[in-house]
Amino acid sequence: MNNNDILRRLRFAFDFSNKDAVALFSSDPSSQAEMTQAAFLTRLAKDEDNDFIECTDIEMAAFLDGLIVSKRGLREPAPEPVIRPSDYRISKNDILKKLRIAMSFREEGMLSTLEQGGTTMSKGELGALFRSPSHKHYRACGNQVLRNFIKGLTLQLRPDDATPATKSDDKS
C-alpha cells in the first residue's frame, strides 16, 4: 500500500472535494508541500495511468498534518516549523498515529475502528504500534492493519456509502 493508495482512501473516507483536499496540504503552517489541484489529481491517478505521479512522504505528512489542523485546530502556542530533509520517510506507524491524533481517538476508539475494518487486536498489540522503533516491544504497522483501519474509519464516517468509487471523481 503506497502513499497514493492511502491518499485516495482518506479522500474518500472524509468525503473531501479536490479543492478541500488540496487546501489541507497548506493548512499546517509548518507544511513544506505545495500542491495544486492538477498536481493532486496526478496523485489520485492509478499506478498504471500515464499521468500518475508518486505521492512523496513529505506530501503525505503535509496532508496528514493538514487533516489534524482541520479536525482539531492549530496548537497554541504554534510549534516551531519542522524542516523535513528531502530523504524524510513516513512509516505506516506514523500515518496511523497522525490519523489517531486527527480523530482524537483513544485506545477504545482505535480498537473499535480496527474491528469495524476487519482486524481484531489486543490493547498490547495496539500499544506496540505507537512505541518508538528502538523500543524492544515495537511492532511495525503492516499494510493490512492500516488498510483495515482506514476501512473502519470509512464505515464510521460514511456508513451509507462505504465502497470507494473505482475512478477518481472530480469533485471541484
pTM of the model: 0.86
For the chain, the structural domain boundaries read 1-89, 91-162
For residue 89, the one-letter residue type is R
- CB distance 117 to 150 below 8 Å: yes
More confident residue, 65 or 28: 65
DSSP result, the chain:
--HHHHHHHHHHHTT--HHHHHHHTTTSTT------HHHHHHHHS-TTSTT--PPPHHHHHHHHHHHHHHHH---SSPPPPP---TT----HHHHHHHHHHHTT--HHHHHHHHHHHT----HHHHHHHTS-TTSTT--PPPHHHHHHHHHHHHHHH-TT--S--SS-----
Structure confidence by residue, pLDDT tens digits, 111-141: 999 999 999 999 999 999 999 999 999 999 9
- Supply the pLDDT for residue 147: 96
Counting every residue, how long is the chain? 172
